[in-house]
Structure 1
């Protein structure tokens, strides 16, 4: 049930961004926006949120979602959108908006959805505890003289 809620949140976010960019600025029909949003939501959730995010973290997943959003809007827009618009530029604007939303959505995913799944069996546990201690004797000659006495 948590995944359904997360998919719904993601779908609303993607649809809102595409409606603003494609609908308001370029006059694309809402049916075309819904088709593109549905595919982008499912693909980005499976690839970016369930596969990349737990393994590589928020930054890598956000970059991957940018590429997926840009290519998805550009390629799907060529098939769905009937209006003559600068699709490369519209895809860039949409991808930037979706990427900003994805950054915050990934934080939601890490806090609410992914903690229960634990670490996969074949993946090593990441522990970045790098502790190094540097020290020097304050007066090494004094310590040597004590030992001789």
Structure 2
């Protein structure tokens, strides 16, 4: 159920951005915009939120979501829309606004969706170092002798 909630939140953010940029400025059909929104949401959720976010953290996932959103908007824009629209420019702008929403979506996903295995929790930035006090054997024997 938590995956469905996060998918709906992500779909609303992406659909609002796609409808705002492509729909208002270029008068594209609602069906095409809905298909673009659903496809971008599904692919970016599977790759960016379930795979990259758990392994590499929020910043890397946000950057990858920007790149994924741009590439998918550009690709699906060429497939679903007329050729006389400057799709690259609108795709960059829409991907930027989608990427601005992603940290909030990522925080919801991290807080509400449980991790299946413990290995997924480790990211590249969570490396732990252990420190110990090194002792010389002669120092240990001196300390024992002084305690007597």
TM-score by length of structure 1 reads 0.78
Matches of 1:95 and 1:57 in 2, distance apart? Answer: 19
3-state SS of 2:118 partner: coil
Q: Paired residue for 2:116?
A: 117
Superimposed CA distance per residue, residues 32-66 of structure 1 (whole angstroms, 9 cap, x where no aligned partner): 11011111111011100000000000011111111
Q: How many residues align?
A: 130
Deviation at 1:16, TM superposition (A): 0.5
| 1:39 corresponds to | 39
The structural deviation recorded for 1:116 is 4.3
Q: Does 1:100 align with 2:100?
A: yes
Gaps of 5+ in 1: 133-149
> How much does 1:79 deviate?
0.7
* Distance change in 2, residues 1:29/1:103 (3 Å): same
Q: Name the residue aligned to 2:4.
A: 4
| Gap regions ≥5 residues in structure 2 | 132-148
Aligned position for 1:60: 60
